[in-house]
A and B are shown apart, each in its own frame.
Chain A
Amino acid sequence: MWSTVSASPIIEVIHLSKNFGEFSAVNDISFSVPKGEIYAFLGPNGAGKSTTIKMLTTLLRPTKGGVRICDVDVLQHPSEARRLFSVMFQEPSLDDELTAYENLEFHGVLYGVPRALRHERIDELLEMVELADRRHHMVKGFSGGMKRRLEIARGLLHHPRILFLDEPTVGLDPQTRNHLWEYVHVLNKSESITVFFTTHYLDEVDQHAHLVSIIDHGVIIADGTVDSIKKETHTDTMESAYLSLTGKMIREEGGDNSNRSRIMRAFAK
């Protein structure tokens, strides 16, 4: 299922740390992602996944450490790094007062996708996420699942070297989930796009990922191939391997600001 792996890392994370005041969200993590990989980045809520993705994608300055993407230092040359990846955030980031089509058009122009190619891909992607008949509808009328699908389409609009997907399949029905993963595999194979994703659906890791790292309390507690992690924990699914590594206690969302902005959104309504 997974693609062939070449030796040179496309993402290098070097002793990366992020503190929010006293709270250490990410604490001295290091890992590297080989080119062409589909890489799963796992961890309980509040473990530091989103914070790490934000640092990898230039949205957050690390307290310590560094990130290199395709040998570009993300801290030194953020604009250069931004050309190399596409990111789908965990929280919605669409413009509600634009139509589905306009949201995609906006993204395509910002990322410099040439007009003809842009329109072709927008049509194709809207078809894929089954929003083609809603293309000229305002996003504010969309359901949560529809918005999610539109964000997926948007994240795939410009074909980057790396695709960051932060819990891409939350709230999707199995049909759309399968579509999404199929499309991700096509991009991974045909354009050799490296995929870096987080998820709480661990069967997705079994099915789609090859390499995994697991973060908890801001530290990497395991990394390696899916098979080696299962072997080490004497389990036969990623789900049981994950639970044996991270324990069965339910976590609260930590100092991350995602909760707060969710509450603010609720008030804004």
Chain B
Amino acid sequence: MFTQELNAVYILWLRQIKRYYRARSRVIGSFAQPLLFLFALGYGLGPVYAQAGKGNYIDFLVPGIISMSIIFSGMFSGLAVIWDRQFGFLRETLVAPVSRLSIMLGRTLGGATIAFGQGVFIFIVSLFIGFHVQNWILVIPAFIMMFLIAILFTALGTGMASRLEDIQGFQFIMNFLLMPLFFLSGALFPLTNIPTVLMYIVAFNPLSYGVDALRALLVGTTQFGIGMDFVVVTSVAIVFMVLGAYLFSTIEA
């Protein structure tokens, strides 16, 4: 019974990876936006940041851009659910004798793996434009954190997509959600001395803790503390996963 659930998770994961790998144009397109942010902001705002006495902006920015590429890719992988619904394939998974948690898990891990891979790619590119890793051992926990962020936001996107029937609606909600999540996470600016109201909003955004953890591990500065970061990101990821499994159990097709 348990091995069958595990196999189901595996085959759902594999399907996602295969589809991604085969859609070459999507692979290239998905890197364009974070790279643009990295180059434009990194080189554009760098001198201002240095003048303000904050040091190297690229070092500050890279954890934010890594997070950005992960949440965009993760959230949008929820689109796969809507495509599957429109092309009828969703039914094939819904009548299968596996738990809805396994379906949610398999889909989420698939999307999260892709999102994580993109984060790793941005990390590697950033090394070539002057990003300094403070301690290479800590890259390992940083990668774990990247994967957790990926799971959290893929689960969110997938869960929301299970409620929606058309692509336009999904894109509309995504744009409303993604930009605030990204801009109000401390990905682009330091959280020291920002207005209190803004700080409350930032503290309520799970991405803030992901960005903070990556900054702690890769650059060595933290706002909330690395322990707090891991606790928040992991628990929110679990909550979204369970919620998504529940939403999948109520889908009618």
Q: Beyond the given A59-B91, A82-B95, A107-B96, please list 8 additional residue pairs across the A-B interface where CB-CB is below 8 A.
A: A82-B97, A83-B97, A91-B88, A94-B89, A109-B11, A110-B7, A110-B8, A110-B93
Measured CB to CB, the nearest residue on chain B to A138 is B22
CB distance from A110 to the nearest CB of B (A): 4
* Bound CA–CA A65/B87 (angstroms): 30
A110 and B87 in contact, given A59-B253, A98-B19 (Cβ under 8 angstroms): no
Contacts of A58 in B (CB 8 A): 94-95
Q: Please tell me if the beta carbons of A107 and B92 are within 8 angstroms of each other in the complex.
A: yes
Contacts of A110 in B (CB 8 A): 7-8, 11, 93, 96-98
9 shortest interchain CB distances as A-B pairs: A93-B88, A82-B97, A83-B97, A109-B11, A112-B4, A110-B96, A93-B92, A93-B91, A97-B19
Binary interface encoding of chain B residues 62-95 relative to chain A, with 1 for a CB under 8 A from any of its CBs, else 0: 0000000000000000000000101111111111
CB distance from A117 to the nearest CB of B (A): 14
* Complex interface: stretch among A34-42, A207-215, A222-230, A260-268: A260-268
Contacts of A93 in B (CB 8 A): 87-92
* Residue ranges of A at the interface with B (Cβ–Cβ < 8 Å): 54, 57-61, 79, 82-83, 87, 89, 91-98, 102, 105-107, 109-112, 261, 264-265, 268
A111 and B96 in contact, given A61-B252, A97-B19, A98-B19 (Cβ under 8 angstroms): yes
A109 and B91 in contact, given A79-B97, A83-B97, A97-B23 (Cβ under 8 angstroms): no
Measured CB to CB, the nearest residue on chain B to A260 is B165
Most chain A CB within a 10 A radius of its CB, from B19, B87, B90, B253: B87
- Contact partner, A97, options B22, B90, B98, B253, Cβ 8 Å: B22
Contacts of B166 in A (CB 8 A): 264
Q: Please tell me if the beta carbons of B15 and A106 are within 8 angstroms of each other in the complex.
A: yes
Pair count A-B, CB < 8 A:
80
Q: Does B18 contact A (CB under 8 A)?
A: yes
Q: Please tell me if the beta carbons of B99 and A57 are within 8 angstroms of each other in the complex.
A: no
CB distance from A88 to the nearest CB of B (A): 10
Binary interface encoding of chain B residues 192-228 relative to chain A, with 1 for a CB under 8 A from any of its CBs, else 0: 0000000000000000000000000000000000000
Most chain B CB within a 10 A radius of its CB, from A59, A94, A102: A59
CB distance from A66 to the nearest CB of B (A): 17
Contacts of A54 in B (CB 8 A): 253
* Bound CA–CA A57/B22 (angstroms): 33
18 A-B residue pairs with Cβ-Cβ distance under 8 Å, sorted by A, are A59-B252, A60-B252, A61-B252, A82-B97, A92-B88, A94-B89, A98-B18, A107-B92, A107-B96, A109-B11, A110-B8, A110-B11, A112-B4, A112-B97, A261-B86, A261-B88, A265-B86, A268-B86
* Bound CA–CA A260/B89 (angstroms): 16
Contacts of B84 in A (CB 8 A): 95
Most chain B CB within a 10 A radius of its CB, from A58, A61, A107, A109: A109
Contacts of B11 in A (CB 8 A): 105-106, 109-110
- Contact partner, A87, options B7, B87, B95, Cβ 8 Å: B95
* Bound CA–CA A59/B91 (angstroms): 8
CB distance from A26 to the nearest CB of B (A): 14
